[in-house]
Amino acid sequence: MSIDIASFTPGLSLTGGLVIGVAAAVLVLFNGRIAGISGILGGLLGTPQKDAGWRVAFLAGLVGAPVLASLLGESIAPDIQAGWSEILVAGLLVGIGTRYASGCTSGHGVCGISRGSIRSLVATATFMASGLVTVFVSRHLLGS
């Protein structure tokens, strides 16, 4: 295994993690809400909610930040080595897993574990183990 030193950015990664942590803490402290993307988006679907404003703002920031970065000349496009059919199947599986786990990786991993939730600890361990198995199988057993 080797590390691509040109792409190794621990300072930016730490800063990004700190910003996510502070944003999650601010949301829970001031709104009493968990910063789980599936729950935020799910709250906008279906019947109109009185708290739609912050949900729309949160999602707009989630989408708007990379758009702004690309407009400023930052190269943010990941190198995805999969076709559209694989991406669609993966997205569907993530959506199903999110429903079964009663939340997404951001809700469980960032917010749930920090609150000491056993359910979130189990869900995050399951997410991570599934990712490790998938990478191992696709790289070593399937020869990708």
In DSSP notation, 44-91 reads TSSS--TTHHHHHHHHHHHHHHHHHHHHTT--------S-HHHHHHHH
In angstroms, the CA 44 to CA 59 distance is 10
Domain ranges of the chain: 5-141
- DSSP helix/strand/coil, 40: helix
Per-residue pLDDT, 5: 77
Per-residue pLDDT, 89: 92
Is pTM beyond 0.85 here?
A: no
In angstroms, the CA 6 to CA 61 distance is 28
Mean pLDDT per 10-residue segment, the chain (144 residues): 74 88 89 86 83 90 86 76 88 85 85 89 91 88 72
- DSSP helix/strand/coil, 109: helix
Per-residue pLDDT, 1: 60
Task: List the one residue out of 33, 16, 41, 57 whose CA is nearest residue 115.
Answer: 33
Q: Are 27 and 33 in contact (CB under 8 A)?
A: yes
